[in-house]
Amino acid sequence: MSGLAAAFSVELLKARRSRVPWAVAVGFSLFPVVGGLFMIILKDPERARQLGLLGAKAQLAAGTADWPTFVALISQGLVIGGAMLLAFLFAWIFGREFADRTVRDLVACPTSRSAIVIAKVAVGSVWSLAIIGWVIALALAIGLAIDALVGLPGWSADVVLRGFAGAAAAAVMTIGLQTFTAFFAGLGRGYLPGLAWAVLAIFLAQILAALGWGAWFPWSVPALVTGVAGPDAEAVSAGGVAIVAVTAFVGLVATLLWWQRADQTG
């Protein structure tokens, strides 16, 4: 594939110099910070009210201040909030060429279009994995700090490792599904179509999960893997995971095919 290494270097340089990927990283970092704040509030609500962290009339029903609850909050953030943030990142990577009016110059360069698409997907995936790793490490550090300061019961290496491993697996699936965000960003020639697709996919995922079809709808599977969809949600089989992988591949192929005629789309 002609020029893949060069295309990857260029796309990585674009990401490093832009504020958008860094803003996505900051957005992800809020999940463990907010989760830690919730643990402190749940640990001693009256003290939190005195410190101004909680309104006088506020009522909390988020659970108890312990490690399983904290890990569950981080998982929810990575799956639900992460789906939108990752879509924003991939929509920017593919949609910026149209917003900046550089797409015709890009497809006219000697580097093959397939290499350009693969490089964009690779940079988005590497950046996303780095962010997820950072968030999990930050969450663990915050959890240990809270445990040392005010006590956070329920520590179990098995609970923490399983919880974060499940969250990481769900996040990896979510990354794979962003190939469809990339496709719609190209098809619609900008950021908004990719983001609109992401919102629709999240909406459909919630509805189909509630109807009991979530295990067979790719965008519902990550939430089911982590248990975010609730204890009554159906279990995810190997077939459900395979559907996610096939869907991600189909999205990639569709994106590759569309970019072969990107200069003929007006």
Which pLDDT score, from 0 to 100, does residue 228 have?
A: 61
Please give the structure tokens belonging to residue 90: 């991939």
Query: How far from 55 is each of 25, 36, 44, 58, 97, CA to CA, in Å?
Result: 29, 18, 13, 5, 46
DSSP 186: H
* Sign of the alpha-carbon torsion through 32, 33, 35, 40: positive
Residue 107 has pLDDT above 80, yes or no: no
Residues 81-102 have pLDDT tens digits of 888 999 999 999 999 888 888 8
Number of domains in the chain: 1
Task: List the domain range (segments joined by +) for residue 197.
Answer: 4-264
Distance of CA 181 to the CA centre of its chain: 12
* Residue for token pair 């982590």: 226
Higher pLDDT, 253 or 48: 253
Q: What is the mean pLDDT of the chain?
A: 85
Instruction: Kindly report the backbone phi and psi dihedral angles of residue 141, in degrees, each rounded to the nearest multiple of 5, phi listed first.
Output: -65, -45
pTM of the model: 0.88
Distance of CA 62 to the CA centre of its chain: 23
DSSP 64: -
* Sign of the alpha-carbon torsion through 83, 202, 217, 185: negative
Please give the structure tokens belonging to residue 107: 């497809």
* Residue for token pair 């990354």: 175
HSE toward the beta carbon, residue 220, CA cutoff 13 A: 23
Mean pLDDT of all residues in 208-235: 76
Which pLDDT score, from 0 to 100, does residue 62 have?
A: 55
pLDDT band at 235 (very low <50, low <70, confident <90, very high): low
Mean pLDDT of all residues in 192-209: 92
DSSP string, 104-154: HHHHHSSS-HHHHHHHHHHHHHHHHHHHHHHHHHHHHHHHHHHHHHT----
Task: Tell me if 211 sits within 8 A of 234, measured CB to CB.
Answer: no
Residues 23-60 have pLDDT tens digits of 999 999 999 998 888 888 887 777 666 666 565 444 55
The answer for 227, left when phi > 0, alpha when psi is -120 to 50, beta otherwise, is: left
Rounded Cα distance, 151 and 135, in Å: 21
Residues 51-86 have pLDDT tens digits of 665 654 445 555 678 898 899 889 888 888 888 999
Higher pLDDT, 167 or 62: 167
